[in-house]
Chains A and B, each alone.
Chain A
Amino acid sequence: MGPVAAWRDAVDLRSPAWPLLLLKRVEKGVDGLQKVIEAWKAKDVEAVLAHMSDDIVWHFAAAALPPVCGKAEARKLLTRFQADMHEIRWRIFASAETGDRLFVEGVDEYRNAAGTWIAAPYAGVLDFIGDRISGWRDYVDTSVIAAQREGVEPSAQVKALIQRPEAT
């Protein structure tokens, strides 16, 4: 999807408030997340943390695992992830925003320390205070990740979910 198509996809031109919606989109939300993604691809933990509030509540596997609470815990988790995630191909397929909340759909794809490629389709919800993420909930199926860690080829349905054009 090109930038014009992405722009048209994100902003409902039938809304009388579309110029404001566009401005909001430019200012924060998915653009902030893209900065986080770039920082994470560069394995720059501190740059990722710079986009989080001090009291962030991060459900990295919403409902399946306990969240990490606060920047210190987030730093520990990111450091642990850093050791296991390589050649990161985290990408976003679509997004929409409302108020201070961003919804995204994407895939977390990487090669783990054992050399196995992992592709986890997910949908995320991020709450912002100013330009910092204060709440982050990623909904993902942990059994999909576990199967791939054990060497099972990603299923046809996983492939269908992740073989989509990246939002630009």
Chain B
Amino acid sequence: MTDRRSVLTAGAALATASPTAAAPRGRRARLYPVLEAIMQAWMRQDIEGVLAHVPEDIIWRNSSGYAPAVVGKEAMRAVLTRMAGMIARDDWRNFDYAESAHRLFVEGVDEFWLTTGQHVAVPYAGVFEFRDLQICEWREYFDGRISADMKAGAPMTDEVHALISRPAIAARR
């Protein structure tokens, strides 16, 4: 079994292995700015601002397979509205991304504080399919147990802490 010290060492190694993770690399992002706009809208709980970037037939797979997909803009609006009512503060951020012609990959953390006080941080990788610069399919991969445990009040584990303590991509202003 890996002990606490090796986990912390791993975290340090992770951070030092990619010292430029958050630094701009001179890339000309085409798709990532759309996700940035969604993130900024979500963090001010502007649900319509989020939905402006998805088509009517959006498929949102917001689990790694443990829950059914959310299909359609109306269903997404309902889920976002329920989520917004539970979240007091959100610090969703990404550590890096890559794009192909119509697909965006990101690695980040969805970190938020519930209105009931619990602190939740879910490291994730996301894949976003684009059509006409709108996200038509959104797939998130993460361990749902982390989310469930932290919503129930469990403290942040060393593994989560190591993964989320990396420099994030600076938001555009």
A-B complex is real: yes
* A residues whose Cβ falls under 8 Å from a Cβ of B: 8-15, 55, 57, 59, 61-69, 73, 94-99, 101-103, 105, 121-125, 127, 129, 134-135, 137, 139-144, 154-158, 160-161
- Write the nearest CB–CB distance from B64 to chain A, whole angstroms: 4
Main secondary structure of the interface of B (DSSP, over half): mixed
Contact B65 A121 (CB under 8 A): yes
Contact B10 A63 (CB under 8 A): no
Say yes or no: A143-B144 contact (C-beta < 8 A), given A66-B6, A66-B7, A157-B67.
yes
Bound complex: CA of A155 vs CA of B160, how far in Å?
27
Contact B143 A157 (CB under 8 A): no
Contacts of A57 in B (CB 8 A): 10, 13-14, 17
Contact A143 B17 (CB under 8 A): no
Contact A67 B141 (CB under 8 A): no
Contact A122 B141 (CB under 8 A): yes
Further 8 A-B residue pairs, CB within 8 A, beyond A63-B159, A69-B9, A141-B65 = A10-B101, A14-B30, A59-B159, A63-B122, A66-B7, A121-B64, A140-B143, A157-B61
Query: In the complex, which of the residues B17, B66, B127, B142 contacts A105, with contact meaning CB atoms closer than 8 Å?
Result: B127
Contact A15 B28 (CB under 8 A): yes
How many residues on B have C-beta within 8 angstroms of the other chain's C-beta atoms? Answer: 52
Contact A127 B142 (CB under 8 A): no
Contact A123 B141 (CB under 8 A): yes
Say yes or no: A139-B68 contact (C-beta < 8 A), given A98-B25, A161-B61.
no
Chain A minimum-CB-distance residue to B13: A57
Chain A minimum-CB-distance residue to B29: A98
